[in-house]
Amino acid sequence: MSFALETASHPENLKRIAIDPVSRVEGHGKVTILLDDNNHVHQVRLHIVEFRGFERFIQGRPYWEVPVVVQRLCGICPVSHHLAGSKALDWVVGAPQISPTAEKMRRLMHFGQVLQSHAVHFFHLASPDLLFGFDAEVGKRNILNVAAEYPDIARQGVLLRKYGQEVIRLTAGKKVHGISSVPGGIHKSLNKEEIAFLKQDIGQMIDWSVGAVELCKRLYYSNLPLYENFARCESNLLSLVRPDGALELYDGLLRARDSKRKIIFDKVDNRDYHKVITEEVKSWSYMKFPHITALGREIGWYKVGPLARVQNCDFIDTPLAEEMRQQFMDTAKPVNHATLAYHWARMIEVVHCAEKIRDMLDDPDLQGNDLLRQGKRASEGIGIIEAPRGTLFHHYHVGDDDLVTMCNLIVSTTSNNQPMNEAIRSVAREYLDGERVTEGLLNHIEVAIRAYDPCLSCATHALGQMPLQVELVNTDGTVIDTRTRGADFI
């Protein structure tokens, strides 16, 4: 099966443009565009060219290594992998119900994670496009110029991220790649000094995150046709929700809606994910293409992440975030499928995380000593969590000798694979078709990718500093035009 613009019928007669690598994303992605002599677009693909192989090389390792090892998939949201792996292995050690202290420590860690990751995503990686324009001079489209032109916004972004990192440091042991979550619970709790430290700035964080939502909303309404239609991609939605329908980031039940907001499935237990989701492999990408089994691969693909979550849930259980969700839902008719609306939804989640952190810091369980649980040993575990960029699945089999025998991961980016491909095809149709290709036009493609994901490979590479070279190659292989730009931000 092939989607429109996924596979050209005669690629051998077409010019090929490669955006390689895609910049201001983490990891290594590539976009290829095939054009005919009149620059009409025939094929657009987002390739994930980085092979990670974690599913294979975690096999044969002791299961208690998993939460620490698999988080090395990513430097932006390692906590999500750390916790999804731990949740899966809670089942293996017979403790799917961990202690209140352990669960609250993990939740707090995760709120810190989502907050810091969303801050990086919006302020550091996406805001230059939104504030200066997609085709602004390339040398100005970076966070340093945001700091020069909008110093308050840049400062708030940096400090919001820093606060999230501090939450992670105190709950996980260090800011990146902590080790505190273990199968069956957690190995530390917080002391009074640590809680007092986090309480100092949480009020400011809530204020700034509310300001970020207002900024997103203002940008959205300032150019409604652009924001509503750019890279628009209608699809189903998937996320965890709490049993009562509330937004849930750490542990919930699977729910999917179609593009008109009708429920496809609801309250699916995590352990039954393979009954509702199927993964497809394609020859031109290392990423898999998952879809909702009941709908089939042609129409069963779905979005995950903030845009899916805030529209999939029935409500958010913190007042400010819920008020902002309701304002956001005014744009949903009945579902907002605008790619750039991801950022607005993302900042609503930042408000939610900040409110949750504030509320949790008063909970005495965070200072408890009941850290670990253990029960009847099992051979299989499944952990699903809402990572910053969407639903993340971890699935393991463990042998009697305690070594992992099978690992299946569906990372958020994998779920968003088809929507991202559709989004960039929409951009190619709208902005590139028949036009002379410029760097600014190609950046439109990258803007669409960045709205979903600054983290293409769930990899550990450094942010930015990715030079971009675009070559226009004629049908006989002659390079007819080359554009190069230097290192982008950070």
Partner 1 sequence: MTNESVAKAPKSTAPSAPGEALQARETRLFSLDGKPVAFTSGQTILEAATAAGRYIPHLCAHPDFPPHSSCKLCVVKANGRYLSACSTRAREGLEVESNTPELNGRRRTLLQMIFVEGNHYCPGCEKSGFCDLQALAYQLEMQNPHFSHFWPDRTVDASHPDVFIDFNRCIFCELCVRASRDVDGKHIFALTGRGIKKHLCINSRTGKLGDTDFSAADRAANICPVGAILKKHVGFSTPIGKRTYDATPISVVSLASLEASK
Residue 182 found at the interface with partner 1 (CB under 8 A): yes
The residue range among 108-116, 128-136, 174-182, 244-252 that interacts with partner 1, by the rule CB under 8 A, is 174-182
Residue 18 found at the interface with partner 1 (CB under 8 A): no
C-alpha closest to that of 334 among 280, 404, 259 = 259
Residue 67, classified by CB atoms within 10 Å of its CB into exposed (0-12), middle (13-18) or buried (19+), is buried
Closest to partner 1 by CB, 69 vs 448, is 69
Q: How far apart are CA 83 and CA 386, in angstroms?
A: 10
- Residue 190 CB, nearest approach to partner 1 (Å): 11
C-alpha closest to that of 324 among 370, 357, 355, 294 = 355
Residue 374, classed as helix, strand or coil, is coil
Q: Which two tokens stand for residue 236?
A: 């189903």
Task: Count residues binding partner 1 (CB under 8 A).
Answer: 22
Q: Which two tokens stand for residue 7?
A: 């596979």
Closest to partner 1 by CB, 188 vs 395, is 188
Residue 459 found at the interface with partner 1 (CB under 8 A): no
Residue 94 found at the interface with partner 1 (CB under 8 A): no
DSSP tag of 372 = B
What type of residue sits at position 81?
A: H
C-alpha closest to that of 454 among 413, 422, 421 = 413
Q: How far apart are CA 274 and CA 446, in angstroms?
A: 32
Q: Which two tokens stand for residue 446?
A: 């990258």
Closest to partner 1 by CB, 189 vs 285, is 189
- Residue 171 CB, nearest approach to partner 1 (Å): 10
The DSSP code sequence of 233-256 is ---EEEEEE-TTSBB-SSS-EEEE
Q: Which two tokens stand for residue 257?
A: 């809606």
Q: How many CB atoms lie within 10 A of CB 379?
A: 13
SS3 content of the chain, % helix, strand, coil (to 5): 45, 20, 35
**In this chain, which of 17, 25, 44, 68 binds partner 1, going by CB under 8 A?**
68
The residue range among 59-67, 198-206, 237-245, 429-437 that interacts with partner 1, by the rule CB under 8 A, is 59-67
Q: Which two tokens stand for residue 154?
A: 């840049």
Residues 6+ apart with CB under 8 A from 311: 237, 257, 261, 329, 332, 335, 336, 345
Residue 151 found at the interface with partner 1 (CB under 8 A): no
CB 444 within 8 A of CB 427: yes
What type of residue sits at position 31?
A: V
**In this chain, which of 25, 69, 153, 256 binds partner 1, going by CB under 8 A?**
69
- Site map (CB under 8 A) of partner 1, residues 210-249, x = contact: ----------------------------------------
Closest to partner 1 by CB, 12 vs 401, is 401
**Which residue in this structure is represented by tokens 């190069």?**
484
Residue 319 found at the interface with partner 1 (CB under 8 A): no
- Residue 455 CB, nearest approach to partner 1 (Å): 19
Residue 229, classed as helix, strand or coil, is helix
The residue range among 27-35, 220-228, 249-257, 400-408 that interacts with partner 1, by the rule CB under 8 A, is 400-408
CB 334 within 8 A of CB 311: no
**In this chain, which of 173, 211, 368, 440 binds partner 1, going by CB under 8 A?**
173
* Cα first-last separation, the chain: 40
Residue 401 found at the interface with partner 1 (CB under 8 A): yes
Residue 188 found at the interface with partner 1 (CB under 8 A): yes
Residue 34, classed as helix, strand or coil, is strand
Residue 190 found at the interface with partner 1 (CB under 8 A): no
The residue range among 67-75, 135-143, 289-297, 475-483 that interacts with partner 1, by the rule CB under 8 A, is 67-75
Residue 295 found at the interface with partner 1 (CB under 8 A): no
The residue range among 42-50, 66-74, 147-155, 296-304 that interacts with partner 1, by the rule CB under 8 A, is 66-74
**Which residue in this structure is represented by tokens 């699809």?**
235
**In this chain, which of 180, 209, 391, 443 binds partner 1, going by CB under 8 A?**
180
- Residue 402 CB, nearest approach to partner 1 (Å): 6
The residue range among 61-69, 272-280, 299-307, 323-331 that interacts with partner 1, by the rule CB under 8 A, is 61-69
The residue range among 62-70, 217-225, 348-356, 439-447 that interacts with partner 1, by the rule CB under 8 A, is 62-70
- Residue 8 CB, nearest approach to partner 1 (Å): 41
Residue 85 found at the interface with partner 1 (CB under 8 A): no
The residue range among 208-216, 264-272, 401-409, 422-430 that interacts with partner 1, by the rule CB under 8 A, is 401-409
What type of residue sits at position 8?
A: A
Residue 30 found at the interface with partner 1 (CB under 8 A): no
Q: Which residues bind partner 1 (CB under 8 A)?
A: 60-62, 64-65, 67-69, 72, 173-174, 177-180, 182-183, 187-188, 401-403
